Amino acid sequence: MPTDEPRPTDEELIARWRDQPAPLLPLLHAFHDRDEHLSDEALRKVAHALRLPLADLFGTVTFYHHFARTPGGKSAPRVCDGPVCRTRGCDRLLEELEGATPMPCAGRCDDPVPVIVGDRYLVGTPGEPLAERPTPLPAPNPGGAEECCFAEIRTPGRATLAGYRASGGYAGLERARAMSQDELLDLLEASGLAGRGGAGFPTARKWRAVRDAGGPDDPRTIVCNADEGEPGCFKDRVLMDHDPHAVIEGMAIAAHATGAELGFLYLRYEYPHTQAILERAIEEARDLLGDFRLLVRRGAGAYICGEETSLLNSLEGRHPFPRNKPPYPVTHGYEQTPTAVNNVETLASVPPIVARGADWYAGLGLGEHRGTKLISLSGDVRRPGNYEVPIGLPLRTLLEDWAGGPLEGRRIQAVTMAGLSGGFLGARDLDATLDEPCLRGKGSFLGAGGIMVFDDTRDMVEVARQAMSFFAHESCGKCFPCRIGTQRLTERLAGVAGPADPEAWRAEVRAIGHTMSQVSACGLGIAAPLVTESLLDLFPDQVDAHLAKR
């Protein structure tokens, strides 16, 4: 970290963080930033300062992808090798950039290939110098459908407090504070807002449970899940980079609805530039937040930390395994306090809903569906980017009318759903509508809203192998079926394992997937087999060709 400022001493770093809430991650980052790696000496000091067993701390630190353990390691380039970046030359970049290592999807599939060097978030194109480009704004919605989260995001100056207020910001918080908690929760319930991070849990029900847990004066916590680790998802990045006050206002309204006085924004490591944007916005909003204390905590690279209980363990400085549920975070969350963990998009939806009313928001959906959903669209389509769609919009309308369809002379053969977690839909499914009932009927789900498009030049077995290898890499290893199952499926898709007889091969792949989906402890192990299931169902010819080649 070359800078003219004197390097802080160990004692100064420790004194700054030791007594703060959730101190482990910021303290580790402070040493990592100062020394460009985490030395054994630094780990010993942190363990001593926070009274953590050194062996436990070592296990936790090495679980994360991005804490470098060798001198200078923090500045070595990390190149995204997610599904879209693999089609955009990330392998060549890995060869061209000295000391580069691959990292899982870094959430810039609309403008690939992201490369992180130290705390710089750059874009790489093979054969060209790395470029510094701001997060692309969403293009104006070509369908003319009314938006909620994106309605004002393109307004110049929106990321500043003045610009945010000038475009209607903080009116929702003002209105919320004039309401009782019950009135506010009733309004949100009537809007139909459900979680946008993947599981779709009704937001009002979650907040009511937090409000009702424990005694009236017990501490409560709001956590914004900004981990956005799902490959193909980059909608939370655009919200935080261009509309940070919307997220903060949503959190402040959540605090009012539940009685919470402490909040965390848990930000993924791979958005280094976003931390400064959020911290500046929190500082600007300090007077508006009143008693609500809001802190940013930066992760260190682990997809599983997006799972809410794993995130809470990470925040608390524990090993970030998912917790057994129940109890749920609404009663036993951060430091055992009742906690609402909500996605960035969910929280950013709240201020306009409160300001404009439940009927307005509910009416944005098509047919019987309520509200909107942000979709991160990428891959083999002419206009990738973030789109805010009315829930219930036909997938074909999004792909062809809004995003311009496939490239000249190509045909869409598959799209992923929920990033990678929803597996594939095929060309025959393009008449689906973007809502959970329809997509679940097709064996998939909308989840966080990442859709990656693959045209007819792509080898779908290879795409599936890469997807499964991501899940194998990111499986936290806590439970056997997921830890082993993702590895076994990756080997089979790579053509290096499994029965010689094609029928037996298929049966075995389905059996492994079935076991994983039935007994895995969290959503990663439950969802990963959707990749192989949908591959077998949609692309039997490509699977046959793969088997014949072994």
Ligand X SMILES: Cc1cc2nc3c(=O)[nH]c(=O)nc-3n(C[C@H](O)[C@H](O)[C@H](O)COP(=O)(O)O)c2cc1C
Q: Contact positions toward ligand X, by CB under 6 A? A: 195-199, 201, 225, 227-230, 304, 306-308, 341-343, 346, 522-524
* Distance between CA atoms of residues 481 and 274, nearest Å: 36
Pairing label, strands 424-426, 262-267:
unpaired
Minimum distance of ligand SF4 from residue 517's CB (angstroms): 10
Task: By CB under 6 A, name the binding residues for ligand SF4.
Answer: 304, 322, 475-479, 482-483, 520-522, 524-525
Cβ at position 106, least distance to ligand X in Å? 13
Residue 308 binds which one of ligand X, ligand SF4, none, with CB within 5 to 8 A depending on kind?
ligand X
Yes or no: say if 306 and 341 are a contact pair by the CB < 8 Å rule.
Answer: no
Q: How far apart are CA 189 and CA 477, in angstroms?
A: 37
**Closer CB to ligand SF4, residue 347 or residue 482?**
482
Q: Concatenated DSSP letters for 5-48?
A: SPPPPHHHHHHHHTTSSS-HHHHHHHHHHHHSS--HHHHHHHHH
Spatial neighbors of 231 by CB under 8 A, at least 6 apart, are 82, 83, 104, 105, 109, 419, 420, 450, 452, 467, 470
What minimum distance in Å lies between the beta carbon of 481 and ligand SF4?
Answer: 7
Check if the beta carbon of residue 340 is closer than 8 Å to that of residue 206: yes
Q: Based on CB atoms, which residue is closest to ligand SF4, 312 or 521?
A: 521
Q: Considering the complex, state which of residue 187 and residue 521 has its C-beta at the smaller distance from ligand SF4.
A: 521
Give the integer Cα–Cα distance in Å for 50 and 470. Answer: 33
| Binding partner of 476, given ligand SF4, ligand X, none, CB within 5-8 angstroms per partner class | ligand SF4
Q: In whole angstroms, how close is the CB of 519 to ligand SF4 at the nearest point?
A: 9
- Cα 323 to Cα 86: distance, rounded to the nearest angstrom: 33
210 preceded by cis ω (within 30°)?
no
Shortest Cβ 311–ligand SF4 spacing (Å): 13
Residue 523 Cβ vs ligand SF4, minimum distance, rounded to whole Å = 7
- Name the binder of 342 from ligand SF4, ligand X, none, CB < 5-8 A by kind: ligand X
Its sign, for the CA torsion 527, 528, 530, 531, is positive
Tokens of 463: 């795409």
Q: Which two tokens stand for residue 295?
A: 């802190």
Please identify, using beta-carbon distances, which residue of 112 and 523 lies nearer to ligand X.
523
Q: Shortest approach of ligand X to residue 370 CB, angstroms? A: 15
Residue 191 or 346 with smaller CB distance to ligand X: 346
Three-class SS of residue 119? coil
Which of ligand SF4, ligand X, none is residue 61 near (CB under 5 to 8 Å by kind)? none
Considering beta carbons, is residue 60 or 378 the nearer one to ligand SF4? 60
- How far apart CA 100 and CA 79 sit, in angstroms, is 7
Beta bridge partners of 101: 78
Partner from ligand SF4, ligand X, none binding residue 198, C-beta < 5-8 Å depending on class? ligand X
How far, in whole angstroms, is CA 175 from its chain's centroid? 30
Query: Do the beta carbons of residue 376 and residue 109 sit within 8 Å?
Result: yes
Can you tell me the distance from the alpha carbon of 510 to that of 409, in angstroms, rounded to the nearest whole number?
35
Residue 165: CB atoms within 10 Å: 13
- Alpha-helical (H) ranges within 290-430 are 308-315, 344-356, 358-362, 395-396
- Determine contact, residues 367/123, Cβ cutoff 8 Å: no
Q: Using only the alpha carbons of the chain, give its radius of gyration.
A: 23
Partner in contact with 71, chosen from ligand X, ligand SF4, none, beta carbon below 5 to 8 Å by kind: none
Least distance to ligand SF4 from the beta carbon of 449, Å? Answer: 21
What DSSP designation does 362 have? H
Q: Tell me whether residue 169 or residue 198 sits nearer to ligand X (CB atom).
A: 198
CB of 274 or CB of 346, closer to ligand X: 346
Of residues 371 and 485, the one with the C-beta less far from ligand SF4: 485
Nearer to ligand X, 532 or 542 (CB): 532
* Partner from ligand SF4, ligand X, none binding residue 477, C-beta < 5-8 Å depending on class: ligand SF4
Q: What does 479 interact with, of ligand SF4, ligand X, none (CB < 5 to 8 A by kind)?
A: ligand SF4
Q: Output 229 or 244, the one with its CB closest to ligand SF4.
A: 229
Could you tell which of ligand X, ligand SF4, none binds residue 77, using a CB distance below 5 to 8 A set by kind? none
Q: Which of ligand X, ligand SF4, none does 318 bind, CB closer than 5 to 8 A by kind? A: none
Shortest CB 194 distance to ligand X, Å: 7
Strand 221-226 vs strand 78-80: parallel, antiparallel, or unpaired?
Answer: unpaired
- Smallest separation (angstroms) from ligand SF4 to the CB of 61: 18
451 binds, among ligand SF4, ligand X, none (CB under 5 to 8 A by kind): none
Query: Shortest approach of ligand X to residue 190 CB, angstroms?
Result: 18
